Copies of this chain bind each other. A is one copy, B any other.
């Protein structure tokens, strides 16, 4: 029977070994620190929901990708594929237990049975943050500012948050009298960063005819700077002054807080999905734009429409944590977080095992992460273990030393030894060396 089942994971799924999991948890901890400073609070929802809750009217791409099944009670259930839909359900259900405006964050796994050939995972972690219950420009800005601050906090410095206003795009579609094709057009324009302007133009021409495609391409092209882009948009859609007010107000925040280097007004941002009703945004890393947007979202003022009569306006953003982690690893900008303890206490004498535990206790009480070597093995084996793992410092103490109350510390990086230490001087020496 031994070994009769081959250990393996499902395609599109993966284990997180200590190094990567440590990096991920550090990233999450940093983000949470920032969220809390902004007054955002955490929530959690079940991984499994009734399928009708998750799919609503259904019929989209999502239906095919969702993990859906019947439970033992014959309920039609599914695993969440994002954190937005469960949040809409959550807000409808708990409206009376919360005070608006409500700022929440939610960091959790979601599942999609996507095509793994594209290098995509079927299980990944999202990090969403939203302000609901306010339609103000101040809330719009705060989400953008939180995105900015979050990325800075994890060591990413060179990025650009591309912002647009869906109302302007809608105005264009109205003017061109192609509003009924908006879903298709949105999806097409959304591809521009991946496939380029020319291809989008030819795809649009098939949908709207060449002249209108020309007009759309003109609309989504940026000007020289913010003012230039606003000007171009006004010309393009023949907008009244009021129609560009919102984006101008947002830009004023960005200017007043000295953030213009990290933001750009980019009318080609549409976010594909139908439910956005105001600003929309995506974030690209200057040094690796090809990995796509690492943080995106927008304003949606009908979030809870499926579940409740009350319309709750909101604005929010989602960080693709796995994509961001890959970027942090590749750019090596993040702080190096090691999963390895700082000290190992070697096992020289079985009669000293409790003494080793007492030394470990003292070091841990001083904030020094310490592991003990539990087995009586040759010292060479123990040193080899510590070296391979990359533990920097080893505590060495045999019967003789113990009887004198003395301890030796060895720096495994420099091979230098520090002998004749007491418990007190041991921890000071460790702190000095780390």
Interface residue ranges, A against B (CB under 8 Å): 1-11, 13-18, 21-22, 24-25, 29, 32, 36-39, 41-50, 52-53, 56-57, 64, 67, 69-73, 75, 77, 79, 89-90, 92-94, 97-99, 101, 103-104, 109, 111, 113, 123, 131, 134-139, 141-142, 145, 149, 252-253, 256-257, 305-309, 339-341, 344, 347, 353-354, 356-358, 360-361, 364, 367-376, 385, 388-389
State A225–B43 Cα separation when bound (angstroms): 46
Interface contact A9-B49, CB-CB below 8 Å: yes
In chain B, what residue has the closest Cβ to A122?
B48
* Apart from A4-B306, A15-B46, A36-B341: 15 A-B pairs, beta carbons within 8 A: A2-B305, A2-B306, A3-B308, A6-B307, A7-B92, A10-B50, A15-B44, A17-B97, A21-B44, A29-B29, A41-B339, A47-B47, A136-B376, A138-B353, A138-B375
How many copies of this kind of chain does the complex include? 2
State A373–B131 Cα separation when bound (angstroms): 11
Q: 17 A-B Cβ contacts within 8 A?
A: A2-B305, A2-B308, A3-B307, A5-B56, A10-B49, A16-B42, A37-B368, A38-B369, A39-B341, A69-B69, A72-B113, A99-B385, A101-B374, A134-B374, A138-B347, A138-B374, A141-B357
State A194–B72 Cα separation when bound (angstroms): 28
**Residues of the B chain whose Cβ atoms lie less than 8 Å from the Cβ of A89:** 7
State A94–B18 Cα separation when bound (angstroms): 11
State A131–B127 Cα separation when bound (angstroms): 31
Interface contact A48-B307, CB-CB below 8 Å: no
Shortest Cβ gap from A53 to chain B (Å): 6
Shortest Cβ gap from A58 to chain B (Å): 11
State A376–B13 Cα separation when bound (angstroms): 47
Known: A8-B93, A44-B16. A71 touches B67 (CB 8 A): yes
